[in-house]
Amino acid sequence: MKDILSELEDRRKDARLGGGQKRIDSQHARGKLTARERIELLLDEGSFEEFDTFVAHRCTDFGMEKQRPAGDGVVTGWGTINGRMVYLFSQDFTVFGGSLSETHAQKICKIMDMAMQNGAPVIGINDSGGARIQEGVASLAGYAEVFQRNIMASGVVPQISVIMGPCAGGAVYSPAMTDFIFMVKDTSYMFVTGPDVVKTVTNEVVTAEELGGATTHTRKSSVADGAFENDVEAMAEVRRLVDFLPLNNRDKAPVRPFFDEPGRVEMSLDTLIPDNANKPYDMKELILKIADESDFYEIQEDFAKNIITGFIRLEGRTVGVVANQPMVLAGCLDIDSSRKAARFVRFCDAFEIPILTFVDVPGFLPGTGQEYGGVIKHGAKLLFAYGEATVPKVTVITRKAYGGAYDVMASKHLRGDFNYAWPTAEIAVMGAKGATEIIHRADLGDPDKIAAHTRDYEDRFANPFVAAEKGFVDEVIMPHSTRMRVSRAFASLRNKSLQNPWKKHDNIPL
């Protein structure tokens, strides 16, 4: 009996070594942690329960039968983050470069199936050379099995991908179908075809970092939602994100203890809006001032900065925030910001996270670049996302709400539950100058007349009261009381029940 017990211990020890000490050292030398070290940082201490420790590949080509390391290049199982269950897989680059074999894929599929069945998020830590070359099509089949599960799990349990090494070829499409992708600066990259193929086909010379590093994907492509300095920070930030999320689509986000008065008055907000309507101000200041303990988890911070998306808590409950940022492109909506915000709104709606929208938008960005790029379709994504969302929706117009963008930004007409405006709000078809130049075209040669018409238009429309008279704005509120008003609004909506008509699925303009 004792021998059997010690054999198990020996086998476990062996499995924990993955591809061996030399390769572990080389992983460390690159500034990367091992698959197991990452898990230790991600999960609550001692909470990890491993599955399939001893699974080995079945390949007999290329002499592979002589090397059958336990675990086959991926560590899988479940554990807890601040006491709440998550399933995870962590690819082990020290074993065949973390490449995905048939059995490696089966291990991932097993925990994904369990996560779906038991209603808990899936966190995938990616560090892999892609398809196990020795296994050929069996490995491709394995990827497809994972893809299919990513699709089925979408909107059922949150899926988070952390890219902590290579992720190339078709392998990128699994993270791409998850809800959030995070990368580690300098040690991770993602691309469909690598620098060598790019050079052969297009003659472009580009490094792996330039082609698919964290900077590229958080600033240019928007494939990634955030980038972290190193493995340790990445794991800590994923823990922070998980704390904001429900475990599944039938669960509510956790209610955390809060140490911030819901009725807290912020007098400084009364002077947030500059006297000059064309002067920018930082919308993040408003978000931080109304959030519990000023805690804001921003998503896609470095992309389409003219819109801000992320999670806060109000009275300890998660709220998704979408806000125009007047500091960038005057807060205009454009292709990138519409796509970014639409995806965020849809995530919130899928997981029953209420949405708070702060509006200061002068309209859609004009130009051939936008029109040729399909701003009509991309802008419609955000409109569609807000309109189909059935979660509690509270909107505060701080300043401009012009034209189609007024409608899009969670207006009353898109089933907004509480639509507030600050006294500084200007809700109109367009800005006074543009409007005057159209409706008083005959007076264009007379600057005095135009100035008078402009003033007249401003007096009549550059305020929240026309909309308030029609009930499109439920109430004009004092900026300093925003946290209290918004908290109370969400509290009143906790039992909101709204259903869309039955359909197989909608046809959002993709």
- C-alpha to C-alpha distance for 102 and 96, rounded to whole angstroms: 13
**Buried residues in 487-507 as b, exposed as e (16+ CB within 10 A):** bbbbeebeeeeeeeeeeeeee
Q: How far is the CB of 351 from ligand HXC (least distance, A)?
A: 28
How many chain residues interact with ligand HXC (CB under 6 A)?
A: 16
Give the residue among 118, 25, 23, 30 at the shortest CA–CA distance from 73.
23
- Is 169 labeled as catalytic in the residue annotation? yes
Q: Contacts with ligand HXC in 144-203 (CB under 6 A)? A: 166, 168-171
Judge whether 151 and 194 are in contact, CB under 8 Å.
no
Interface with ligand HXC (CB under 6 A), residue from 132, 340, 381, 393:
132
Per CB under 6 A, does 73 bind ligand HXC? no
Query: Where are the alpha helices (H) located in 119-265, listed in sequence order?
Result: 137-153, 173-176, 195-202, 208-212, 214-215, 231-244
Per CB under 6 A, does 486 bind ligand HXC? no
Pairing of strands 189-191, 166-168: parallel
Site string for ligand HXC, 420-449 (x = CB under 6 A): ------------------------------
Per CB under 6 A, does 265 bind ligand HXC? no
Q: How far is the CB of 308 from ligand HXC (least distance, A)?
A: 35
Q: Contacts with ligand HXC in 393-412 (CB under 6 A)? A: none
Strands of 410-452 (E only): list them. Answer: 418-421, 426-428
Stretch that binds ligand HXC, among 6-14, 92-100, 391-399, 434-442 (CB under 6 A): 92-100
Out of 105, 342, 389, 405, the active site residue is: 405
End-to-end C-alpha distance for the chain, whole angstroms: 61
Out of 98, 169, 379, 403, the active site residue is: 169
Per CB under 6 A, does 56 bind ligand HXC? no
Out of 119, 170, 316, 373, the active site residue is: 170
Q: How far is the CB of 130 from ligand HXC (least distance, A)?
A: 3
- C-alpha to C-alpha distance for 397 and 361, rounded to whole angstroms: 9
Tell me which residue has tokens 């704005």: 473
- C-alpha to C-alpha distance for 24 and 92, rounded to whole angstroms: 10
Interface with ligand HXC (CB under 6 A), residue from 18, 69, 79, 97:
97
Q: How far is the CB of 255 from ligand HXC (least distance, A)?
A: 40
Interface with ligand HXC (CB under 6 A), residue from 69, 71, 129, 320:
129
Strands of 344-484 (E only): list them. Answer: 355-361, 393-402, 418-421, 426-428, 475-476
Judge whether 292 and 313 are in contact, CB under 8 Å.
yes
Three-class DSSP labels, 79-135: EEECCEEEEEEEECCCCHHHCECHHHHHHHHHHHHHHHHHCCCEEEEECCCCECHHH
Q: Kindly state the DSSP code that residue 179 receives in the 8-state scheme.
A: S
Q: How far is the CB of 354 from ligand HXC (least distance, A)?
A: 37
- Is 404 labeled as catalytic in the residue annotation? yes
Interface with ligand HXC (CB under 6 A), residue from 99, 306, 318, 325:
99
Q: How far is the CB of 35 from ligand HXC (least distance, A)?
A: 14
Judge whether 367 and 332 are in contact, CB under 8 Å.
no
- Is 212 labeled as catalytic in the residue annotation? no
Interface with ligand HXC (CB under 6 A), residue from 78, 89, 143, 228:
143
Query: By C-beta, is 115 or 171 nearer to ligand HXC?
Result: 171
Stretch that binds ligand HXC, among 106-114, 124-132, 381-389, 483-491 (CB under 6 A): 124-132
Per CB under 6 A, does 212 bind ligand HXC? no
Three-class DSSP labels, 347-358: HHHHCCCCEEEE
Q: Which residues are catalytic?
A: 169-170, 404-405
Q: Which residues contact ligand HXC by CB under 6 A?
A: 23, 96-97, 99, 129-133, 140, 143, 166, 168-171
